[in-house]
Amino acid sequence: MKPLVLILCTGNSCRSHLAEGILRTSAGDLIDVASAGSKPAGYVHPKSIEVLKEIGIDISSHTSKHMEEFLNRPVDTVITVCGNADQACPMFPGQLHRFHWGFDDPAHAAGTEEEILNEFRRVREQIKLVFEAYAAGLKRGKSL
């Protein structure tokens, strides 16, 4: 059984799904990846789906989940991507590692459609840099 990396955000609609899609693609078969929220929005933001599709990652089948769904599963690593989730995050069974890498929430972007989409792209690129580096470390045999 592969170790589970759980990515948490408050709403589980934007940042955590961007990170989940990127990490799953980057880490290959080394780990299982899931995302959840402390107060799930109930949907995955369409612009998150759109900006990942631009780089060849399909998250259109993702759903917004509550972090409590994972309390009875062994979770090796928890990564929070927003401050609220970091503060609300419980310990999970089997949890060995916890990281907090905060990113701006593109769902709060204002402006024209293009300006909002560009904010989603900017956050996607920040998440991509961090999570691809994390995956590269896993591939080199570094611990989770």
Of 5, 9, 22, 51, the catalytic one is 9
Q: How far apart are CA 57 and CA 73, in angstroms?
A: 26
Measure the CA angle with vertex 134, ends 66 and 20; round to 5°: 30
Of 19, 67, 75, 89, the catalytic one is 89
Q: How far apart are CA 136 and CA 139, in angstroms?
A: 5
Task: Look up residue 124 and give its DSSP letter.
Answer: H
Q: In 82-108, which positions are buried (b, 16+ CB within 10 angstroms) versus exposed (e)?
A: bebbbeebeebeebeebeebebebbbe
Q: How far apart are CA 21 and CA 38, in angstroms?
A: 19
Catalytic site includes residue 14: no
* Host H or E run for residue 116: helix 113-139
Annotated catalytic residues are 9, 82, 89
